[in-house]
Amino acid sequence: MDMDFKGNSVLSLLYHGTPPKLPDPAHAMIALIDLPPGDPGSPPHRHSGPVYGYMLEGEMIFELEGEPERVIRAGEAFWEPGGDVIHYQAANNLSHSWSRFVVVMFCVPGVPMLTYVDEEELAARRDRRAPRPN
């Protein structure tokens, strides 16, 4: 990847990789999400397209179907493929302060970006969830 910035600009590469297939046609959204101390975030859900994010402040517990949960800290980037993958957690890992991140989301026009997963589907797919920490 070659970028030539002039003047005093500084480039900090946050994520580099091959993106998953984007919906065709695709609609893009950018959102700033603030999680209060200890907030569990949205219940399990899926996105209609890929999501790219950057943690601005705090820490987030992040868990996608098939992957163990992990902590994303301020200054780190993350992504998820969207589609059929369940997003289990995006919770504030801090009990004493807010956490904040920005996301760029791609979706199919007219299709909700976020769809909640019901208990029946969670039960049917429980074998796809990574083991939970004790």
**Predicted confidence (pLDDT) per residue in 16-73, tens digit:** 777 777 777 888 899 999 999 999 999 999 998 899 999 999 999 999 999 999 999 9
Judged against a pLDDT cut of 60, whether residue 117 lies above it is answered with yes
Dihedral sign (CA 4, 32, 43, 23): negative
Measured in whole angstroms, how far is the alpha carbon of residue 84 from the centre of its chain?
A: 14
Strand-pairing partners, residue 101, are 33, 55
The span from the CA of 87 to the CA of 44, in Å, is: 6
Per-residue pLDDT at 120: 96
% the chain with pLDDT above 70: 90
Torsion angles phi and psi, residue 64, rounded to 5:
-110, 155
Torsion angles phi and psi, residue 102, rounded to 5:
-115, 140
Domains of the chain are 27-128 (2.60.120.10)
Per-residue pLDDT at 121: 95
Judged against a pLDDT cut of 90, whether residue 134 lies above it is answered with no
Q: Are 29 and 105 in contact (CB under 8 A)?
A: yes
